[in-house]
Every structure is written in structure tokens, then in C-alpha cells.
Structure 1
Amino acid sequence: MTDVMTTDVIDCAYSVEGEGPPLFLIHGIGAARDTWRYAMPVLTKHFTVISYDLRGHGTSPLPEGEFGLDELVADLEALRAKLGIEKAHFAGHSLGGMIGPAYARKYPDRVLSIGLLSTAAGRTEQDSKNVWAVVRAMEEKGIANILPTLKDRWYTDAFLNSHPEIVQRRMDQVTGMSGEIFMNVFRIYAGTEMLPWLHEVKHPCLILTGEKDGGCNPRLNKLIEAELDNSELVILPELKHSIMLEDGANVAAHVVKFIQSLG
């Protein structure tokens, strides 16, 4: 976790849909709760699904000053407490896949299971250089000028060609938000290393990533699996990073299957 601390918890915007055991969904960098829209028809048949916008994203308030992973965990706990939910399942994509385990580490009694979707741990020195190079490029050249590179890392060529409107909506989502917030969360993602403490998380964990996800690849996800006592690893063939928009219903089906297997 980062050393950056603020005292204010953000009252994040959220939605509650469906019936069944509670499931919190945590989106990634520069996204919003609508990133789960293709997963929701599957998930809401089985769960009371709580999706929310991270601070500074979507319709959630803008925070004052820089923040770190601890603050994102605190926001999630504030939302759980506000809704009066005693225990829940949690699933997060990308940065959300770091927030979920960090939350479980701090509030283990509140967690039933965790989904770590398209996230990273155990980065090599070169892996870290690569992700920080993206951060520096955006700082120097501007976010909009690096987005085409990110777009190619997030989506398969087939999806780029067949669903340009979905991709453009995602690009507009990034350029339409605060650049400071986007860079803040990207730095959290780049600087978070879960491997030293993942073994402390004892909850059942679903680890899922795309076969061709450059930054959150199967190699790193196998390291995540090795650190967790109670986990299942799923690799989705051909997919890159944006699994929720490209194949959300299939991801949701894996989440449902995993949680139902817990009994």
C-alpha cells in the first residue's frame, strides 16, 4: 500500500441491483460502474449486486489532494457500512483487483470471497519499468496522446474492428474525467505490489485474466495463485485486458460458478 494518506472518506455513487447474497463490484482505472454492464444480466440473477464509482470517477465526488490504496479501501468500507451489509463477496477488475484483496486484508470478517480479475502481482523489475514508462509517457505527452497505445493493450484487434462504438465510449470516459485523478489511480496501480502480503488473505479467491493481457498476464496471475491458499485460476483464451467490456457475460458466468462452488 502507498504511504499517501488523506483523512476524508468519499461517499461514492453506487447502484444496487438483483437479489441474493451481496456482491460488491470494483472497477479499474478511469472506468465507472458501467464497466460491468455486460456482466450484470448474469450476476443479478444470483446476487444483490452493488456496483460503485471509485472516488473521482463516474458520478462520485472529486477528492481533495492525492490519495492511495488505503483511501480506496476506506471508501469501500464506508459504502459497506452505509448499506448495512454484514458480509459480502467482492470482485474487482484491474486496480479493482488490488482494492479487493487489500480490503480483505484489512477487513477479513466482512469478506466471503474475492474475485481478482485482470490484475497483477509479482512484477519483475522489467515489468515495473514498463508500467512506470506508461505513467511517465502520459505525464510528459498527455493522457490523450497515449490512449491509442492503451487501447491496443486493452482490446483484441477483432473487438476493435467489430465494436468501435464501445471502444470510443471507453476512450471518451477517460478523456472526460479529471486527468489528475486518472494519473493518481494509474500511479497506485503501477506502484502496488501485493505479493509480499497476499498470503495473509485466506478467503476463497477466483483469479481470472486474459491470455494475451500484457500487463496482467498469466505469468503474474500464476504467482498470485501460488500465494493464495484457497484459489482457482482461469485464463480466458485470446483476450487482452478489457475483459469486462469484451466478454463480460462469460466473466460473470465464471464468477457465478466459483461462488456457487463454495456452497
Structure 2
Amino acid sequence: MADVIDCEFSVQGDGPPLFLIHGIGAARNTWAKALPILTDHFTVVTYDLRGHGTSPLPEGPFGLDELVADLERVREKTGFKCAHFAGHSLGGMIGPAYALKYPNRVNSLGLLSTAAFRTKEDSAKVWGVVHAMEEKGIPQVLETLTARWFTDEFIATHREVVANRLKQVIGTDPDVFLNVFRIYAGTEMASWLQRVTAPSLVLTGENDGGCNPRLNRLIDQALPNSELFILPKLKHSILLEAGDRVAEHLCRFVADNPVE
């Protein structure tokens, strides 16, 4: 049985509930650019994953099951019986895994910049990043990640945003950061995605290296009720570069797929 941590969360906005799940080494503030739009349409619940932001540190290693259990605890504490869910990167794996375990809780899903159906070469690349961090240290690999996360134009014109994102990573407990990166690298949704029946928006950046359109097309094909959209030119950090556009797509998708 998965252990559970009481994660810190915030509730804001008005409308049907929407839970937002951030990715590796981030926190609930990663949704800041999307929130002004989303809170006009939804009661938005954002939370910090265990060991991230202001949430408590775990006592030892953990897996995807524990992250799903934490999300269920947040849902219980908010009192919402069912909701919309959207997650970015690792969060885009937590959301579908949650929907698989609690299908009656999920009205719709957003799978944002996530990965499945990785080839051996794909897996080798992501595990290569993990091993480089283990050997050299997380700060020493951040420059590589910066280029993977942000477009060159954004790096040039939003230096403070990029710098704050790197500080956020370095400020994350290194054991937790490596733990969640291993979950992201080792999770393969291909064998069970077809059992996730909730209406699902699959969305990624055109130039996202690890969560690229090729993999997201396969995710879209596997899900029984989904829609795929590729954001032109963007890389992995779609929330920081274009959170408003992501929010607009989520609002449109939910409006197009009303709860029966």
C-alpha cells in the first residue's frame, strides 16, 4: 500500500474543479501564467508534489503509486467528488495513472508535455540525463536542461524567468529531484493508456525533445477519447513560455467535452 503525504495546496477561482499537477523540480507557481484564464472558468486546485515547494519531504524513496496517493489525499481534503485534471511532464503521467485507479473521479484529463511509447533510444537518452546528474551533480547538468526546456528567444528575453526556474531546481532536495526524475524516466504508460477512458487533451511543444510530437501522437492514438494539439516552436516549458495559450486550450477542450 502506498504511503501518503499531506501536500500543500491552494484553491482559487470559480466553476467546476480543476486539479493541476506540476512536473519535476517545480511547484504550484509554475501555473501562474495560466491561472488568470483558468480561474475565470474553474475552481482551480494547485498543489506542491511531495518534497517540492512547501510540501513535506518524504522519508525515503517513492514511486508513481505514492504520487497518485498524494493527489487522492488532496482531492479528499478539498471535498470535490470528481474533477478535471491536468498535468505537465511527470504530472502528465500522474494524471492518467490517477484516472486509471479512480476513473469515477475524473471528468477529463490534460496530458501536457509528457511521454509514452519511448523507444530504446528514447529511454537511453532520458536515463542518460539521470545518470549524468547522479555522477556530476544536478547543477552541472542544468545548462543542458535549459536548452531542452526553453526556446532560444525566450532564454534571451526572459532571463529572470529562466534563472528562477534553475534556482527552483537547485533548491529542490537532490534526493527528491533524482527520485522524481527516475519515475519520469522509468514510467511507461503504453501498456495501460487504452484503459484511460476520460476525455483527454494531449498537448506538447513542436520542438520538445523528450516529449516530442512523435510520442504524443502515439499517446493520442492509444487513448480511446482524446484530441492532440502541437504548440508551434515551443520546447518543454510550455507553462512558463505560453501558460496562457495552454489555459485557453484546456478551457476550450473542457467546453467541447461537457460532463454527462
**TM-score normalized by the length of structure 2:** 0.98
* SS at structure 2 position matched to 1:215: coil
Q: Distance in 2 between matches of 1:8 and 1:237?
A: 40
8 Å contact from structure 2 (residues 3, 69) kept in 1:
no
2:191 is matched with which residue: 177, 189, 196? 196
Amino acid of the residue matched to residue 232 of structure 2? P
- Structure 1 partner of 2:145: 150
Shift of 1:177: 1.4
The answer on 1:134 being equivalent to 2:151 is: no
Cα deviation code 1:191-234 (max 9, x no counterpart) = 00001000010010000000000000000000000101110000
Q: Distance in 2 between matches of 1:134 and 1:54?
A: 21
Equivalent position amino acid for 2:131 in 1: R
Contact 2:149 2:236 in 1 (8 A): yes
SS where residue 128 of structure 1 aligns? helix
What letter matches 1:172 in structure 2? Answer: K
Seq. identity, %: 67
Residue in structure 1 matching 2:233, options 235, 238, 252: 238
Aligned counterparts of 1:114 and 1:262: Cα–Cα separation in 2: 11
Displacement of 1:84 in angstroms is 1.0
CA distance in structure 2 between the aligned counterparts of 1:170 and 1:13, rounded to whole angstroms = 20
SS at match of 1:216: coil
2:181 corresponds to 1:186: yes
Pairing 1:58-77 to 2, within 5 Å after superposition: 58-77=53-72
Is residue 223 from structure 1 mapped to residue 218 from structure 2 by the alignment?
yes
For 2:37 and 2:57, how far apart are their aligned partners in 1?
A: 31
Alignment of 1:1-263 (within 5 A): 7-263=2-258
Shift of 1:139: 0.2
Distance in 2, Cα, partners of 1:197 & 1:203:
13
| Stretches of 4+ aligned residues off by more than 6 angstroms | none
Q: Which runs of 5+ in 2 are unaligned?
A: none
Is residue 116–residue 216 contact of structure 2 (8 Å, CA) maintained in 1? yes
Provide the secondary structure at the position in 2 that maps to 1:80: helix
Contiguous gaps of at least 5 residues in structure 1: none
User: CA–CA distance in 1 between the matches of 2:64 and 2:29?
Assistant: 22
Number of residue pairs aligned between Structure 1 and Structure 2: 258
Instruction: Specify the code of the residue in structure 1 equivalent to 2:130.
Output: V
1:8 CA drift (Å): 2.9
Q: Secondary structure at the match of 2:204?
A: strand
**TM-score, structure 1 as length reference:** 0.97
